[in-house]
Amino acid sequence: MTVYKGPEIGLPWSHQPSHHASTAASSDKHWVAGTLLLLVGCVAWSAFYVLQSETLKKYPAELSLASLICLAGSMQSLAVALITAHHPSSWAVGWDSRLFTPLYTGIVTSGITYYVQGLVMKTRGPVFVTAFNPLCMIIVTALGSAILAEKLHLGSVLGGIIIAIGLYAVVWGKRKDYASPEELSITAAKGNQELPIATTNIATT
């Protein structure tokens, strides 16, 4: 979805003027750097999943762990904001997107997400959590095209199809790990039914 752009797909709602169209020319200048930073972000995000999975084994309190993660992220974001944003207008908050955006990001995409992620990771493991993570790219692309009238290209559609195939391939390959102990015991019992019958026949003969 990032490397290949392809031709534009004409949709009825994408013909409206959007802020994305006006900034497309400036964003194309940093395409290589953006791709490299995206790869670094994916590696760092993967390392975070591994670290959270190992932490939950020794510290099984999901709610307090999510609070500590959000606290550490807030301190890091505050340090970066103090370095980059020097104008007082950057810190102004009003009853608009400048207030609702950080509230939604902090409450939903950070607090609730990390807590639910910890619960699922504790019961299903990190592979199950990370398998559904690429769906965010598909959801963001669809919402950006429908709500913000962003241009949808062929590369985004092909990337979404590849992501969906990879997602269900991982879930299908790990299906035995998600089976409950009762299902595994039933499967094992069905596989061992022929052994006692064969032993009985040999003994009788």
- The answer to whether residue 1 sits within a structural domain is no
Render each residue's pLDDT in the chain as its tens digit; 205 residues: 667 777 877 766 665 554 444 455 555 677 788 888 988 988 998 898 888 888 888 888 888 888 898 899 889 988 988 888 878 777 777 787 788 888 888 888 888 888 888 888 888 777 778 777 777 777 887 887 788 777 888 888 888 888 888 888 887 887 766 565 565 566 556 555 544 444 444 445 4
The answer to whether residue 4 is domain-embedded is: no
Asked whether the whole model's pTM tops 0.85, one would answer no
Structural domain of residue 150, as residue ranges?
A: 11-204
End-to-end alpha-carbon separation of the chain, Å? 67
Q: How far is CA 46 from CA 58, 66, 87, 196, in A?
A: 20, 17, 34, 47
Residue with tokens 């309190």: 61
Whether 197 is in a domain gets the answer yes
What are the CB-based long-range contacts (under 8 Å, 24+) for 165-173?
166/134, 167/131, 167/132, 167/134, 167/135, 170/127, 170/131, 171/128, 171/131
Specify whether the CB–CB gap between 150 and 20 falls below 8 A: yes
- Does a structural domain hold residue 182? yes
Cβ atoms of 80 and 74 within 8 Å: the answer is no
Residue 6 lies in a domain: no
Measured distance CA(150)–CA(161) in Å, rounded: 19
Please tell me the distance from the alpha carbon of residue 146 to that of residue 83, in angstroms, as a whole number: 35
Give the pLDDT score at 25.
52
User: Total domain count for the chain?
Assistant: 1
* Phi, psi dihedrals of residue 126, rounded to the nearest 5°: -70, -25
Residue 125 inside a domain? The answer is yes
